Structure 1
């Protein structure tokens, strides 16, 4: 299963995940509006949701308890997709620069959790979703990838 399918059961329990999800939903609702009904207010609503999601994620990352939770990693991944798809293109900036920074940050969260903490189907689906970007970031940085370690190899084999 993909990690998105696990969000509904966790939505009301972790604020960083809830607000990241709300941010994505607000943008999708805006995109479903006919072009003539998209207003500055709908843009503001999306950006306010994004701002709140970032604030909640930062609070989770600052929390010793929440920093390495699966829900924090999931919120990080959701906001990464949101940023690459909806924030950076209109700004006409080099998306790759921002994306790789995001991937490196998420990879650090994964590494900090440790291979032994990817036990549930949800946690493993998050790992699978980030394996490619993590390896690519290490490749582009010309550095070793922690996923090459024996513990990580075992977890990845059990996840796919």
Structure 2
């Protein structure tokens, strides 16, 4: 099981299921950390050179090289993070997230054979569509359509029908 979302909002006993925890314990995390450390080092060098007489006279080319190296490292970091996340998510039998969390860049490019939407009556239709649009083959919506409706703060949105969940609309349609 893997849990996406903000680790500060997750119960302490479930932290080991988070993507963040799994990333930090992934076999390639030390490599990722080395790349991050290199970017920090280059950023410090650039800060020290900024405004110095040396950089203005002789170091312009050196500064360009440092910036190019920093950009290349950032690409490597992004690629490695994506590979790690893909490895972790693909290795999970169950991926848990909020509806909006399912639209996270962490899940970009993933599709799932089955979606279980818990507390379906509390998800507005646009919220429910986020995980459904991930390319799922089957959707199971769980809940009681007569219980709590979606929380909608805007009177205008309520007037346009966003106070009705997809679950309620489907149930009433038969």
- TM-score surpassing 0.5? no
Structure with the bigger RCO (C-alpha within 8 Å, sep 6+) is 1
Q: TM-score range by the shorter chain?
A: 0.3 to 0.5
User: Which has the larger helix fraction?
Assistant: 1
Q: Which has the larger radius of gyration?
A: 2
TM-score (norm 2): 0.36
User: Which has the larger strand fraction?
Assistant: 2
